[in-house]
A and B are shown apart, each in its own frame.
Chain A
Amino acid sequence: MKEMSKIVKNITKLVYGFIIIFGFYVIVHGHLTPGGGFQGGAVVASAFALLLISYGQLEAKKLLKVDIFSLLESCGLTAFIVIAFLGLGTTFFYNFLANSGGWFGNAVTPGINPGDMNTAGVLPLMNMAVGLEVFAGLGIIVLLMAEGAEYTNKEGEHRNDR
C-alpha cells in the first residue's frame, strides 16, 4: 500500500485524533447512549485504518505495531474475565458494583434525565475492556490485511515480469 497525496495526509493528520476521541466517547458512554465497547472500538480501529491507507503501510507501521496491539487485546480480554470473576461472591458475572454507592454505584433515576455517568456498576468497566479488545483486535486485522495486500501485489508484479 503506497502513501496517498499530501491533501489526504494532512486531512488525516487533522482528523484522526478526533475519530479516536469519538470512539473512546462511545466506549465510555456505552451504558448511557447507543453503542458500547464493540461499536466504539470499531470507530477507534477505523482511525487506524485511515492512517494506514493515507500514509501507506511502511509509514503507518512505525506507529502501529502488531505486538503491542496483541498485548492490548489480551489485556482487554483478561480484564473482562477478571471482572466476571470478581462477581463470584454471588455468582459469576454478578454486577457487584451496581447500587453500592461507590465507584459507578449510583442508583439509576427512572424517567427522563440528562444521564449519570456514575451508574451501572461493572457494565462501564466491561465496556472499556471490550472496547480495548475490539480496537486492538480490529487494528491487528487491518494491519495483517494490509500486509496480505502487499504480498499479493508482489506476487502480481512477479507474474507480470515473467
Chain B
Amino acid sequence: MKLMDHIPALIIAVPLLAAFLSPVVGKINKKVVGILAALALGFSLIFTIILAVKILSVGPQVYVFGAKSPSLTLPSGLKFPIRIIFQIDAMGIFMGLITALVSFLGAVYSLAFIDKNNGIDKYYSLLLLLAVSMFGMELTGDIFNFFVFLEIASMASVSLICYKGTERGEPVEAGFKYMVVSSISALMVLFAIGIFYGEYDVLNMAALASVIKYSQLDKIALGILVPVLAMKAGAVPMHMWTPDAYSEAPAPITMILVAASQASLYALFRVVFSLYNITLNTLVVGWIIIIFGLLSMFIGVTMAIIQKDIKRLMAYHAISQTGYMLLGVGVGLAVLANPIALPEYGITAMEGGIFHIMNHALYKGLLFLTAGALFYRTGTRDLDKMGGLAHSMKYTTIFFIIGAAAIAGLPPFNGFASKLLIYESVYRFNPLLSIIAMVVSILTLASFVKVFHSAFLGPQLPQFKEVKEVPQSMVLTMAVLSCLIIFFGLFPDLIVKNLVHPAVMSLIEQFKYTGIVLGGR
C-alpha cells in the first residue's frame, strides 16, 4: 500500500506521535514544543485537505485499523463488521477540515500567547490530544470508538480549561463544571451504546443503521443520545457549562473548544440521520431539535447582551449561534420523510445549518482570538475597564470588525451567506421561526456594537498608553481567519456547491454512508 492510502490514519497518528513526544522534547528545549505541535497539526491539515479532495471526487473512504478488511469472515461464511474502522464521508471530512484548520491556527496562536512557564509541554500535549480526539469523533465509523474519543476530548479539554488554575480559582471551577457535564454525557452515551449492543450485537455504525428498527429500546437510546449530545454542544437547557468553560480557558483553547462542541453536534446529526434516518418519527424529533435551537438562539443572545466580561459575552453568543445550526438541520429533519418539502426547502435549510457550522467556527474563533489579543495586551477581560484600544491595536480592531460583522450576518461576510439560507428555507417551513432568527441576528449586532464601542472607541486611556499591537504570529492567525471569512462571504456558492451540498446529501441519503462498509447489502 502506498502512503496515500494511509492518510485517514495519518491524520490522527501524526499529532498523536507529537503529543507523546512533546514532554520529552520539552525537557530538552521548551521553545521547540510549540513548533513541533504546530508542525504536526500542519501536517494533519495538509492530509485532511488531500483526503477531502479524494472523498469529494471519488467517494467515501474506509480505513481499517490493524487488519485488511472491515469484516471478519467466519469459516461458515458469515461476515461480521467488527473491526475498528474510520469511515469518512463528505460530512465527516467537512467537520474534519474545520477541526484541522482551527486546531492548527490555535497551535500557531499559542506560540506567542502562552507564556513559556512550567507547563508548556503539557499544554501542547493536551492541545494535540484534543485535536486528535476531535478528528477521531468525526472520522470514526464505530460507535464505541466514538465514545472513547469523546472521553479523550473531555479529559483533554478539562485540563486545558484549568490551565490557568494555578493563579486563580475560577478556571478550576469552570473545569470542574465541565468535567461533571462531560462525565454525565459520556456515561449516558455509553449507556445508549450498551442498549444498541445488547439489542443488535453490533457496534459498527453502518451495520447498526442497516438493522435498526426504532423499537421501544431504540426510542430510549435516542432519548438519551439527543439531549446528551446537545448538552455537549451547548444547547440551551443544558448550557450552564459553556459560559464558564469558554471564558476561563486560554483564548486559542476556547477557539478549539468551539470546534470540539461542534464535533458533538456532528455526532448528534450523525445519530439522527445516519443511524435512524426515516425509521424515526422525523416530525417530532425534528421539532424537538428546532425547539432546542430556538431556545439556544434566543436565551443565548439575551444573556449575552447583559454581560460585561468580553469572553463570557462571546461564549453566550456561541450558544446563540449553535441554535442556528440546530434550527437549520432540525427543519431538514422535520421534512425528511416528506418527498415534496425536502427538495423544495428541506435541503436548503440543512445546507444553511451545516454551512453555519463552518462559518461559526471561523468567525467565533476569530472573535475569541481578538478577545485573547485584548487580554494579552491589557490584562483584563472586563469591558468597563477597556477603552480607546483602536488607537494602539489597529490590526486587532480591523479583525474584530470583520468578526463582529460576520456573526451579525452583515452582507459581505460569511455569516450572511449561511443565515440567508436558513432564513429563506425556514420561512417556508414556519414563518415565525424565521422571524425569531432575524430578531436574534439584530440583537447579536446590537451586542457587538456595544463591545466595539466600549473596547475600541473613545479617547486613548492613560493606563493603556503603553499598549502595542500583538506579536506577529497572533496577527497572522487572525489574518488567515479574516481572509477565509471574507472569501466565504464573497463566494458562498463555491463552498456550498462543493463542500456543503455533498455533506448534506450524505447525511440525508443513509445508504451512501452504510453502503461503503456493507457493500450494498
Residues of A within 8 A of B (CB): 67, 70-71, 73-75, 77-78, 80-82, 84-85, 87-95
Among residues of A, the one whose C-beta sits closest to the C-beta of B10 is A92
**Could you tell me the dominant secondary structure of chain A's interface residues?**
helix
Q: Please tell me if the beta carbons of B9 and A90 are within 8 angstroms of each other in the complex.
A: no
Say if the beta carbon of B521 comes within 8 Å of chain A. Answer: no
Q: Please tell me if the beta carbons of A81 and B16 are within 8 angstroms of each other in the complex.
A: yes
Q: Please tell me if the beta carbons of A85 and B67 are within 8 angstroms of each other in the complex.
A: no
Q: Please tell me if the beta carbons of B65 and A92 are within 8 angstroms of each other in the complex.
A: yes
Say if the beta carbon of B23 comes within 8 Å of chain A. Answer: yes
Among residues of A, the one whose C-beta sits closest to the C-beta of B25 is A74
Q: Which chain A residues lie closer than 8 Å to B520 at the CB level?
A: none
Q: Please tell me if the beta carbons of B20 and A77 are within 8 angstroms of each other in the complex.
A: yes
Say if the beta carbon of B442 comes within 8 Å of chain A. Answer: no
- Of the candidates B13, B27, B64, B65, the one whose C-beta lies within 8 Å of that of A85 is B13
Say if the beta carbon of B443 comes within 8 Å of chain A. Answer: no
Q: Which chain A residues lie closer than 8 Å to B58 at the CB level?
A: none
Q: Which chain A residues lie closer than 8 Å to B9 at the CB level?
A: 88, 91-92
Q: How far is the CA of A95 from the CA of B21 in the complex (A)?
A: 23
9 contacts between A and B (CB under 8 A): A71-B23, A71-B27, A74-B21, A78-B20, A81-B13, A81-B16, A91-B68, A92-B63, A94-B66
Among residues of A, the one whose C-beta sits closest to the C-beta of B19 is A77
Q: Which chain B residues lie closer than 8 Å to A67 at the CB level?
A: 27
| Shortest CB distance A5–B (Å) | 36
Asked if A74 meets B23 with Cβ closer than 8 Å, knowing A81-B17, A91-B6, the reply is yes
Q: Please tell me if the beta carbons of A87 and B66 are within 8 angstroms of each other in the complex.
A: yes
Q: Please tell me if the beta carbons of A93 and B66 are within 8 angstroms of each other in the complex.
A: yes
Q: Which chain B residues lie closer than 8 Å to A82 at the CB level?
A: 17
Q: Which chain A residues lie closer than 8 Å to B21 at the CB level?
A: 74, 78
| Shortest CB distance A126–B (Å) | 11
- Of the candidates B17, B20, B27, B66, the one whose C-beta lies within 8 Å of that of A91 is B66
| Shortest CB distance B309–A (Å) | 30
- Of the candidates B10, B13, B24, B67, the one whose C-beta lies within 8 Å of that of A94 is B67
Q: How far is the CA of A156 from the CA of B13 in the complex (A)?
A: 47
Q: Please tell me if the beta carbons of B23 and A70 are within 8 angstroms of each other in the complex.
A: yes
Most buried by B among A67, A74, A77, A87: A74
Q: Which chain B residues lie closer than 8 Å to A94 at the CB level?
A: 66-67
| Shortest CB distance B55–A (Å) | 18
Q: Which chain B residues lie closer than 8 Å to A73 at the CB level?
A: 23
Q: Which chain A residues lie closer than 8 Å to B17 at the CB level?
A: 78, 81-82, 85
Q: Which chain A residues lie closer than 8 Å to B10 at the CB level?
A: 92
Most buried by B among A82, A88, A90, A91: A91
Say if the beta carbon of B1 comes within 8 Å of chain A. Answer: yes
Q: Which chain B residues lie closer than 8 Å to A71 at the CB level?
A: 23-24, 27
Q: Please tell me if the beta carbons of A88 and B6 are within 8 angstroms of each other in the complex.
A: yes
Q: Please tell me if the beta carbons of A93 and B65 are within 8 angstroms of each other in the complex.
A: yes
**Across the A-B interface, the 5 shortest Cβ-Cβ residue pairs:** A92-B9, A77-B20, A93-B66, A74-B23, A74-B24
Among residues of A, the one whose C-beta sits closest to the C-beta of B68 is A90
Q: Which chain A residues lie closer than 8 Å to B13 at the CB level?
A: 81, 84-85, 92
Q: Which chain B residues lie closer than 8 Å to A81 at the CB level?
A: 13, 16-17, 20
- Of the candidates A74, A87, A88, A89, the one whose C-beta lies within 8 Å of that of B20 is A74
Q: How far is the CA of A122 from the CA of B65 in the complex (A)?
A: 14
Q: Which chain B residues lie closer than 8 Å to A77 at the CB level?
A: 20
Q: Which chain A residues lie closer than 8 Å to B6 at the CB level?
A: 88, 91-92
Among residues of A, the one whose C-beta sits closest to the C-beta of B8 is A92
Among residues of B, the one whose C-beta sits closest to the C-beta of A95 is B66
Among residues of B, the one whose C-beta sits closest to the C-beta of A81 is B17
| Shortest CB distance A70–B (Å) | 6
Among residues of B, the one whose C-beta sits closest to the C-beta of A77 is B20
Among residues of B, the one whose C-beta sits closest to the C-beta of A85 is B13
Contact with A along B20-44 (1 / 0, CB 8 A): 1101100100000000000000000
| Shortest CB distance B517–A (Å) | 15
Q: A90-B1, A91-B9 are in contact. List 13 more A-B contacts (CB 8 A).
A: A70-B23, A71-B27, A74-B21, A74-B23, A75-B24, A78-B17, A78-B20, A88-B6, A92-B6, A92-B10, A92-B13, A93-B65, A93-B66
